[in-house]
Homo-oligomer: A and B are copies of this chain.
Amino acid sequence: MKSSRLEAFSDGVIAIIITIMVLELKVPLDGSPKALLHLLPLFLSYALSFVLVAIYWVNHHHLIHLIRKVDGAVLWLNANLLFWLSLTPFATAYMGQTHAAPMSVAFYGTVQTTCAVAYAFLHAAIARQHADDDQFMARYALMLRKNRIAIAITAATIPAAYVSVRLAMVLIVLPAVMYFLPDRRMEMNEAT
């Protein structure tokens, strides 16, 4: 299997995940401003998830292009990442529907943590294919440290949700931005 096919399939799944979330915005039956305003938490959680999934899409692309061989490990760790990502529409609607009840925010944080861990596992499997490339492995070691900090912060949202929902929200957004924005060191690696 070529990595281009793995990428096309993953793209298809991510495109569906990002778009079906909007189906959870249940249409109000009356045309009053109140009915529409009632949907605001759901809308905001949709916007947040759209951005998070889009960041995964961009970074996934960079990762896929580092694959040397689509072996069993890469194939199934990629499927694993897609599985946890596919729970995002559910977690998003759950958080919006319950108006960010602590339980739902903790659940959202759990799904985000599993996605980040699944991404790190896929990243590690691809890095193993470059074990003979010292320059690559030096960069990967740097990233790995960063990844671990990011996962720790994301995981911290789970207990934080029961203390303060606002704090939990900050902890969800923070590492996503820091960790998942396309990494210049990765791009440099692609260029060389």
Contacts and interface: CB of A to CB of B under 8 A. Distances in A.
B103 A32 contact: yes
Contacts of A9: 11, 14-15, 57
Given A47-B83, A58-B75, A107 B19 contact: no
A144 interface: no
A22 to B, nearest CB: 5
Interface in A124-177: none
Residues of A in contact with B, size category: 35 or more
Interface in A9-46: 9, 11-20, 22-25, 27-33, 36
Given A12-B11, A29-B97, A98-B29, A22 B90 contact: yes
Q: Could you say how many copies of this chain the assembly holds?
A: 4
A89 B22 contact: yes
Contacts of A180: none
A182 B20 CA distance: 28
Q: Tell me which of A23, A57, A102 has the highest count of chain B C-beta atoms within 10 A of its own C-beta.
A: A23
Interface string A96-123: 0110011110010000000000000000
Contact of A31 (B11, B29, B54, B101): B101
A94 B28 contact: yes
Contact of A13 (B19, B76, B104): B19
A97 B27 contact: yes
Contact of A27 (B31, B57, B93): B93
A14 B5 CA distance: 13
A186 interface: no
A170 to B, nearest CB: 20
A61 interface: yes
A30 to B, nearest CB: 6
